[in-house]
Amino acid sequence: MRVIVVGAGVVGTMHAWHAMERGHEVVHIEREAEARGASLRNFGLIWVSGRADGPEAKTALRARELWEGIGARVPELGFRPNGSLTLVRTEPELAVAEAAAARPDAAVRGMKLLTPAEAREINPALRGEFAAALWCERDAAVEPRTAQLALRQALLASGRYTFLPGREVREVVGEGAVRDDHGEIHRGDVVVLCTGAWLGGLVRELAPDLPVRRVRLQMMQTDPLGEPLTTSVADADSFRYYPAYAGEALDALNADQPQPATAAEHRMQLLMVQRRDGGLTIGDTHEYEHPFGFDVVEDPYDHLTEVVEGFLGRPLPKIRRRWAGVYAQCLDTRAVVHRQRVGDGVWLVTGPGGRGMTCSPAIAETTADTLGW
């Protein structure tokens, strides 16, 4: 087959990868010189721990397996099975962690409740104060700023992959065919539109009632820490944003221990992962109301710095970068992704939300299976 993939973020790149794996020719079209959206502006986390029961958890676990296999073949991805520690400080937070560790599928997710001493054996950089830690062995990480580039180099080596940057697809012109803004028509057996948070233009024309919204987030990255942070780290506010933790204990946490004002205003959680150069990627916020602000707000960074320094027991290194990003999320947050036939031989795949980096290999695999590649 000849597969046309539109969008070179992680979801589009994984669709190209699966098409190549199954022996097809791929033409990959990207409107920017390089992808610059949420696929690069994230933590690079392969986050199994917080996924909802059912299709979401199944997809995340399959994606974790696929990431490990792809990482073995493409070492430049920076895949590492580092696991995660979610640190808790209060009794209501501890109750949520205990409920998670008692889940029927806790062993499958690699979940276990640890004492502070046990957590520090795994991650000695955590010298600050906390009462316990929820360990998830199946969580992992890759390097988000370079992952798509590394995958593309592997795709180019096949001889059956063509990358066309700086071209915006403007129109569907027939079965399995699209026209770009250079006036060139690209024909294939199937077109897959993986356009991320770009929901206007052609996407709106093809799917005017798309059940997907855009979400904005803020993050930052530090200079090198000077020592290994051997796991990814989260705080208990992450319980409020991941569906795996829903239940009576979380209801009690929300009722008895509201978030601090800044965290509540910006719908915050702490997620933190160390980059290969030793710096820390730290976030994040959630903004849902349109139009989004155009500026980067400082209060959330102050809050995150305070939380991180409390866990590390030391000052953070200098902040090197601050940025904002936007991703597309299904309105039905139980849906892993929105997959829709929008024309003869044309499919739209969008809206994975914060699951995009985690689940993209399995999302693309499901598309390939669905379309009979």
Tokens 């601050």 label which residue?
Answer: 322
Beta bridge partners of 30: none
Flag whether pLDDT at 217 surpasses 90.
Answer: yes
Q: What is the mean pLDDT of residues 120-145?
A: 98
238 with 323, same domain?
Answer: yes
Number of independent structural domains in the chain = 2
276 with 358, same domain?
Answer: no
Predicted pLDDT at 336:
96
Rounded Cα gap, residues 149 and 47, in angstroms: 21
309 with 339, same domain?
Answer: no
Do residues 336 and 11 lie in contact, with contact meaning Cβ atoms separated by under 8 Å?
A: no
Beta bridge partners of 280: 274
Mean pLDDT, rounded, of the chain: 96
Rounded Cα gap, residues 260 and 156, in angstroms: 49
Flag whether pLDDT at 333 surpasses 90.
Answer: no
234 with 304, same domain?
Answer: yes
Rounded Cα gap, residues 165 and 143, in angstroms: 22
219 with 207, same domain?
Answer: no
Let me know if residue 257 belongs to a domain.
Answer: yes
Predicted pLDDT at 334:
85
201 with 281, same domain?
Answer: no
Let me know if residue 260 belongs to a domain.
Answer: yes
Let me know if residue 159 belongs to a domain.
Answer: yes
> Which runs of consecutive H residues, i.e. helices, occur in 131-219?
144-156, 202-206
Judge if the upstream peptide bond of residue 284 is cis by omega within 30 degrees of 0. Answer: yes
pTM higher than 0.75, yes or no?
A: yes
Let me know if residue 90 belongs to a domain.
Answer: no
Measured in degrees and rounded to the nearest 5, phi and psi for residue 341 equal: -80, 120
For residue 114, name the pLDDT band (cuts at 50, 70, 90).
very high
- Domain limits for position 171: 1-79+140-211+332-373
- In angstroms, the first-to-last Cα distance of the chain is 8
CATH number of the domain residue 261 falls in: 3.30.9
pLDDT tens-digit map of 334-355: 899 999 999 999 999 999 999 9
Measured in degrees and rounded to the nearest 5, phi and psi for residue 45 equal: -85, 135
pLDDT tens-digit map of 272-315: 999 999 999 999 999 999 899 899 999 999 999 999 999 999 99
Rounded Cα gap, residues 353 and 366, in angstroms: 17
pLDDT tens-digit map of 134-183: 999 999 999 999 999 999 999 999 999 999 999 999 999 999 999 999 99
Backbone angle region of 362, left / alpha / beta, with phi > 0 → left and psi within -120 to 50 → alpha:
alpha
CATH number of the domain residue 206 falls in: 3.50.50.60
Rounded Cα gap, residues 30 and 8, in angstroms: 5
